[in-house]
Structure 1
């Protein structure tokens, strides 16, 4: 029976970590740290729940069912599962996350050197997605390319930045913005959505499992074990990165008090700490982090859609890279404006799906419980999405003032109530127990 050696397991963990750490992971924690002020660690705790805890749980949940998202979504039916999976793949693939990796790496690391012009963005994104295309065409070599080479380079670069955040703070902690003065934990919780890590984990699950299989491992138990280890390694790495970036942001009040996004905070800090070398260092760090994530997303999306469409993996890789290139040239601001409401709406049912996947054995018929709770979370998540989009005036007053609505968690209480009710219904109706992984 084929098993992985210690260095292969470590490389798998590095690959998983490298796949997760992309644009959002680097630019969102610093702005949270800056704006949360003295409440930074309460906000950080909430952020870590959605940006570390949930992604690790998602990797584990997917490993238990063979890595495919459609297997995880079995309780909600084939059609609903297909729709959910397609939405998630498109969101973290060519519509939002993949193009965002290019625009963030350009605007943070390259634009300060070349100027923020449409031509510069086009040329940069063209070269960027050509590299993504070439690497993604050979998914069997992903563990070697990312795990053994790009992953360690990214870890070294992030390590330098993380150590600097603690050893060379730029100043004292400033005052908290009103949003973080009350409910810092819940604000950090919803800010964690923006990293797309949980959605990314739903997409990366099959990539991780295929990387294990590419080494000749066929035992389902071993595949699950190695995926869990990889998820834990990635989770620890993510937590360390986030903690250092929160510290970086919280100590940057003196040099970035008026910053409106994490990219500005990072740029100000790196310039302050590393002088003339700062821009070059930041450009390399952001480009490397984003490039690895873009490769993982492109591979995962091509793998998924090749099973749904009469198109080859190679054709889909070319199409996805080309579409992402076009979308990336719309610019970072427009991408974020559109993506935030969408993520706010689709995150709740994904959280419910992952969390309840560990409880199937407790119920007579998992579909009776999981499907209604996911539906309720989707409906009330849409309420949060409408508010996030600034369209509150179109909501009935009763929906605009739901419990926890001010914290962006209007879906939570209705989902818990629905869960309790459907568990009672499941026990009352009874039925042959289904065996779901």
Structure 2
């Protein structure tokens, strides 16, 4: 350990702030207000479910990354190489150029820039120009990843946290309404509905990527000792999770008290924008623009950097810098699909991949307790993927309900959690497999 540099206390907090900023992006802002409004008087249970998947799972995932010694590629090490690459690639594409990263630009545009446009007619061209500018800035920051702690952890995130504190305290002191009756699934299953809504933040996927990115940033800071890296990653995880929980609870409460102010809003972004305008009047647009743009920009930087790093290691014919540019261009193109359409397309994909990611995290946390780790990985992940695909096909609405008669017997199928009990059973079976030597490092 003596041969490795160490971070100062200030740098450790900056690392935690950077991690928090990477997570706090588009989904973190647009989904809690809508969930809070729809949950109404059942918001305590709904919020608990949401925090479970949107804060608890990412925290556990980062801890699993620390234990595995890196991010997603390290966590699939016990699988056949091609299968591990396929899982990793699918998650990186979803969290990168296909969905999550373009969404950062869309939310920044819809909430931070569009309110200043008035009734502009050619908003498609304005969106195109905005998305290009957004990803030019994001890729510019991503190209200097060695300085991410300094740029994001010490400069951008403290400004973002200050703005969020002002907003959160104002919401608590001066709520704009009271809780209404719950609607939809929140009426009968608020916890489960909140749990599933937490999928939309994609934070667990983000954690699988950011674990690797944080380790790389530490390398750039000349932190070479693996025990120190693990310790700093744990500190960063706790700081980020605490910040996320605070933001989510504030935005949830904002949504709960918004039923009179923004009734029937189609997404949380509109609720958030209307609420901020009601609280702060004219300056509200500026506050909204600053919060949303900073939050989305820092997340975009983290996602582009993590994706470029992985794709560069997978296909080294293109340099890291070249991958940054390629991913940024793809994101700018996809961003012009539109926010509502992008969310609709991404939901089935999330239902298919989230259970696999959750199972992978759990397996990495308990891998040293399993008598046959490789066999356990094969069994549990196969069960998770199979059942998750059934949930994903169901949620598309493209297949008649009669086609799922065979699956009705599965516990929690009607809740969109058909995978949960079978995966739990597979995990239990994994502990009772006959012990046998397996040639794989755990």
- TMscore range, shorter length: over 0.9
The equivalent residue for 2:437 is: 432
Q: Which 5+ residue runs of structure 1 have no aligned equivalent?
A: none
Residues 81-117 of structure 1: CA deviation (Å, up to 9, x unaligned): 1111101111000110110000111112211221471
Query: Residue 419 of structure 1: CA displacement?
Result: 2.3
Please report how far the alpha carbon of residue 196 of structure 1 lies from its aligned counterpart in structure 2 after TM superposition. Answer: 0.3
Counterpart Cα distance in 2 of 1:409 and 1:163: 36
What is the aligned residue count?
A: 434
- Asked if 1:11 corresponds to 2:14, the answer is yes
What aligned pairs does 1:102-181 form with structure 2 within 5 A after superposition? 102-114=105-117, 115=120, 117-181=123-187
Distance 2:83 2:141 in 1: 32
CA–CA separation in structure 2 for the residues paired with 1:400 and 1:264 = 36
Query: CA, structure 1 residues 307+217, in 2 after alignment: closer, same or farther (shift >3 Å)?
Result: same
Deviations 1:180-209 (A, max 9, x none): 011111111110000000000011111111
Shift of 1:400: 4.7
Is contact 2:164-2:291 (8 Å) kept? yes
Aligned residue for 2:180, secondary structure, equals coil
| TM-score computed with the length of structure 2 as normaliser | 0.95
CA RMSD of aligned residues (A): 1.4
Per mean C-alpha deviation after superposition, the further-off stretch among 355-364 and 198-207 is: 355-364
Residues 195-210 of structure 1 aligned to structure 2 (within 5 Å)? 195-210=201-216
Q: CA deviation at 1:374?
A: 1.1
1:323 alignment partner, SS class: helix
Post-superposition Cα deviations, 1:211-265, rounded to whole Å, max 9, x if no partner, equal 2222211111110000000000000000000011111110111101211210111
Q: Deviations over 1:318-351 (max 9, x none)?
A: 1111111111111112111111110111000100
The aligned counterpart of 2:318 is 311
* Residues 386-421 of structure 1: CA deviation (Å, up to 9, x unaligned): 121113417331125532122211110111222223
Structure-2 separation of matches of 1:228 and 1:329: 37
**What is the CA-CA distance between 1:266 and the residue it aligns to?**
0.4
SS of residue matched to 1:377: helix
Aligned match of 1:26: 29
- What SS does the corresponding residue of 2:224 show, helix, strand or coil? coil
1:257 paired residue among 258, 263, 285: 263
Asked if the contact 1:360/1:436 (under 8 Å) is kept, the reply is no
Select which of 359, 367, 370 maps to 1:363: 370
- Distance across 1 between alignment mates of 2:441 and 2:35: 39
Counterpart in the other structure of 2:248? 242
Q: 1:336-415, aligned counterparts within 5 Å?
A: 336-393=343-400, 395-400=403-408, 402-415=410-423
Which residue does 1:63 correspond to in 2?
66
Alignment correspondent of 2:286: 280
Matched, 1:294 2:300: yes
1:423 deviation in Å?
3.0
Question: 1:81-120 maps to which residues of 2 (within 5 A)?
Answer: 81-114=84-117, 115=120, 117-120=123-126
Deviation at 1:370, TM superposition (A): 2.1
Task: Return the TM-score normalized by structure 1.
Answer: 0.96
Aligned to 1:328: 335
